[in-house]
Structure 1
Amino acid sequence: MPLSVPDRLADLPYAHLLSAHTGPLRSDGRYDTVHFDGGEHTDESAGGAAFLECAFTGVSLSGVGLRQARFNEVWAQAGRWVGCDLSESEWQDTAFTGGVLAGVAAHGSALRRTVFRGCKLEAVNLRGAVLRDVVFEDCLLRDVDFGDARLTDVSFPGSTLEEVRLRGAGHTRTDLRGAVRLGLPDGHQGLRGAVISPTQLLELAPQFAHALGITVKD
């Protein structure tokens, strides 16, 4: 079921418990009810770190290593996460709103009950990831790779997909009907099990025809 995403920091159920973070991120660190507000973290190593009921507001992460990190009930707003290693990370009951994820390695990650709202995802590697109850709402996904990923109850309302790869992906109730645009360089590859609209079917018809060896002429 979709995660309800607060619009303001003050609306978080744990807002009154948050304490301000100072200093660099630490490998295997445990951050419980911590507020990361502004600032930039560059080339830091925080592999295996755990973030529980934390908030990120306007935080810039550049080249930060977060391999196998865990994000549980995390709210991130207006952040820029660029060139970060989030491979094999775990996300649950987490929201990323109004931010940018670019050049991010997130292959083999597990995302559950997670919302991306009003975000830009560019050159994000989600190969082999497992996504369950994930919503990409009003997002731009450009050069995002879901190859060999497993998607269950994933939807894209109001989102634009450009150069999004799905080859080898497995779908259970993946709903693409709300997407504004389906830019799929793999064509029909990786769509088995997904739900699309009649209009989207017509847009993809040339790719389906080519795959089946059908020539369409007037």
Structure 2
Amino acid sequence: MPEPRTLADLPFAAYLEDHDGGRLESGGDYNVVHIADQEFDELAAGNARFSESALSAVRFTEGTLRRSRFNDVWLHGVQVIGTDLAESGWLDAEVVNSAFAGVAMFEAGLSRATFFGCKLVSVNLRGAKLRDVAFVNCVLRDVDFTEAELTDVTFPGSTLEDLRFEGVALKKVDLRDAAELGIRNGFASLRGAMITSTQAIDLAPAFAQTLGITIKDS
């Protein structure tokens, strides 16, 4: 199982410059910066671009970062509450001990991203595309993957509660190491997922109901 990096481990750590504390701007470029211990309320920073940057102990409340790009970024202890991240792009991102709650991330694109010890609650990932993404020791509760595309996605040690998979497209999605597997709907769309025999037994009643099979012991 991979381990999260520290700030000092980042290949660009020596080049990071502290953010000046000003508000983030729509369409702004934030390259090789360290944003730390700041709060952004009702932010209006759509189409912003973050590259080779680090965010630590930052809180986003409400506001928008829609269509923003996060390339080669490291987030630690970040809280994202009720924020619009729809259609955002994440490439080579590492998110550690962070929380996303009530966040819109529909039609977002995540590639080569890893979440360590994070909590995602009521996150809308409808129509999102996830490729080579790992959720390690995370909690995902009421996360909506409806009509999303997941490829090479894993959930080692993670607790999955009340997930929605209606119309999802899965390819090489490994659910076997999830600590808890709770799915609300979309059982007919789980083709392409790998589960254990124990998980299959637990999900059997839902599979039977989806197929119109009545289980009745005489």
* Helix, strand or coil at the partner of 2:199: helix
AA matched with 1:8: T
Listed one character per residue, the Cα deviations across residues 7-62 of structure 1 (whole Å, up to 9, x for unaligned) are 31111100011011120010000000010001200001110000000100110010
How many residues are treated as equivalent by the alignment? 216
Map of 1:151 onto structure 2: 150
Deviation of 1:211 after TM superposition, in Å, equals: 2.3
Give the aligned CA root-mean-square deviation in angstroms.
Answer: 1.3
Q: Secondary structure at the match of 1:200?
A: helix
Moved over 4 A (4+): none
1:18, 1:83 → 2: CA distance?
Answer: 28
Q: Shift of residue 64 of structure 1?
A: 2.7
- Does residue 14 of the first structure (1) align with residue 9 of the second (2)? no
> Would you say the 8 A contact 2:4–2:116 is kept in 1?
no
Contact 1:131/1:152, CA 8 A, preserved across alignment? yes
Q: Partner residue of 1:190? A: 189
Bigger fraction of residues in strand: 2
Q: Which moved more, 1:191-200 or 1:120-129?
A: 191-200
Alpha-carbon contact 2:188-2:207 (below 8 Å) kept: no
Q: Which residues of structure 2 form unaligned runs of 5+?
A: none
Deviation at 1:6, TM superposition (A): 4.5
- Measure how far apart 1:188 and its partner are: 1.5
TM-score by length of 2: 0.96
1:31-70 superposed matches below 5 A: 31-70=30-69
Q: Percent identity?
A: 47
The SS at the match of 2:208 is helix
Q: Give the aligned partner of residue 91 of structure 1.
A: 90
Cα distance between partner residues in 2 of 1:71 and 1:14? 15
TM-score by length of structure 1 reads 0.96
